[in-house]
Amino acid sequence: MNIFLKFSKKIRNIFFGKERYKGIKDAEVLIISHNDVDGIAAASIIRRKYPNSYLITTSPRKLDEVFKAINVEKKKIFIADLSPNESQIKSLEKSLSKLVSKGCEITWIDHHSWPKQNLELISNYVKLVISNTYSASELVYKTLEINDGISKKLVDIANDADEAKYMLEDTININKALRNKRRSKAIFDILSEGKFDDERILKWSREAENNESKIIEYAKNVRYLYTNAGRKFAVLDMRKKDLPGNLVAKHAIQLHDLDFAIVIYSNRSVSLYRGKDNEIDLLSVARIFNGGGHPFACGCYLRLSLKSRFLSKVLGKKYLPEEIKQLIEYAKKVL
């Protein structure tokens, strides 16, 4: 048993520890941000103020894994565009306490809506800046009191993306390039230097366009449903599709004039995206199912029962967990 535990710890270190984050100790500042357009833009703005920065990108559901893995002392740490899920709070509290005890100064900047109890708990360990701005990048820009043209343009791009408008060519190209999350750090390097027309981003964007016709075709053929209040919505099961669910949702919403869309990414991961109805609060659904985000775009990492976990393991993507069915029915009932 001890041999197994040691082996497991070694594997964890390889994927989440020192080997994965090689070079982190040489940086003055550690940035932990969301791996989407806004998260990368926010991190790029921080680097413009603190050039010697090391970036770790993640998603809200993997946030506690990152904190468990990093082992640094006396670092300035910025967390941007990430709100913790309810199930992670106790684990995050322990990790944050440990980092503070090692002399780290932590600033957490986020524009998502936080439950009051989470605000109170996390603020014991970090400087917490939470405000309902269009993007985290806008809040970073204001908080760090940065005033340069490149940072301002990054804010415009992030606002365009997080409002799901995609009116700017730069936003469209960066979003397409980021479909491959392994490019996050390269794009971070490019944007922090203000190279918005960098050939690599344009190349990655063109490559992603090859899927555009598949996205639109899939969106055309989705079936839509109605809530008890008469709102029109669709459930998009992306588990067997190699397509970006957020863009499929965007096209489906436009093509079918939907009020919202529910996207199933995996047997645990579900997101909700708002359409034409600006009054609808999707976050009220996400929070019931261990999630967070915005009223107009949010997600859940579902707590599955033992039965659902077993059937997911055996049947994989052929099985739709009861918890996902419950979320759909709940949305149908309350929205």
pLDDT by residue (tens digit) across 156-195? 999 999 887 889 999 999 999 998 888 999 999 999 999 9
| pLDDT of 73 higher than 90 | yes
pLDDT at res. 61: 80
Residues ≥6 apart with Cβ < 8 Å to 229: 335
What mean pLDDT comes out for the span 232-240?
Answer: 94
Same domain, 78 and 193: yes
- Considering the domain architecture, whether residues 241 and 315 belong to the same structural domain is answered as yes
pLDDT of 20: 61
Q: What is the CATH number of the domain that holds 79?
A: 3.90.1640
> Is 183 buried (19+), middle (13-18) or exposed (0-12) by CB count in 10 A?
middle
Q: Where residue 13 falls among pLDDT bands split at 50, 70, 90?
A: very low
pLDDT over 80 at 277, yes or no = no
Expressed as residue numbers, the domain containing 252 is 213-334
Residue 1 has pLDDT above 70, yes or no: no
Are 193 and 228 members of one domain?
no
Q: What are phi and psi of 85, to 5 degrees?
A: -75, 155
Mean pLDDT calculated for residue range 234-241: 93
Indicate whether 183 and 318 sit together in one domain: no
pLDDT at position 16 is 44
Annotate 159-217 with DSSP letters as a single string: HHHHTT---SHHHHHHHHHTTSGGGHHHHHHHHHTT-TT-HHHHHHHHHHHTTHHHHHH
> Residues 28-55: what's their mean pLDDT?
96
Ranges of H-type helices in the chain: 2-16, 37-49, 63-69, 89-101, 116-122, 136-143, 149-162, 169-177, 184-192, 199-209, 212-220, 245-256, 283-288, 306-315, 322-334
Q: Count of domains in the chain? A: 2
Residue 156 sits in the same domain as residue 20:
yes
Mean pLDDT for the chain overall: 89
Is 240 in the same domain as 200?
A: no
- Indicate whether 224 and 186 sit together in one domain: no
Domain boundary among 149, 173, 208: 208
pLDDT in tens, 219-231: 999 999 999 999 9
Whether residue 95 is found in the same domain as residue 17: yes
Domain boundary among 208, 243, 277: 208
Query: Which residues have CB under 8 Å from 324's CB, separation 6+?
Result: 264, 267, 270, 302
- CA neighbours within 13 Å on the CB side: how many for 163? 17
Asked if residues 152 and 141 have their Cβ atoms less than 8 Å apart, the reply is yes
Top-confidence residue, 234 or 18: 234
Q: What is the arithmetic mean of pLDDT over 246-257?
A: 91
Rounded to two decimals, the pTM is 0.77
Does one domain contain both 179 and 55?
yes
44 with 184, same domain? Answer: yes
Using the 3D structure, point to which of 176, 208, 240 is the last residue of a domain: 208
Which carries the bigger pLDDT value, residue 180 or residue 234?
Answer: 234
Supply the CATH number for residue 239's domain. Answer: 3.10.310
Whether residues 153 and 33 share a domain: the answer is yes
So what's the pLDDT on residue 228? 95
Whether 149 and 171 map to the same domain: the answer is yes
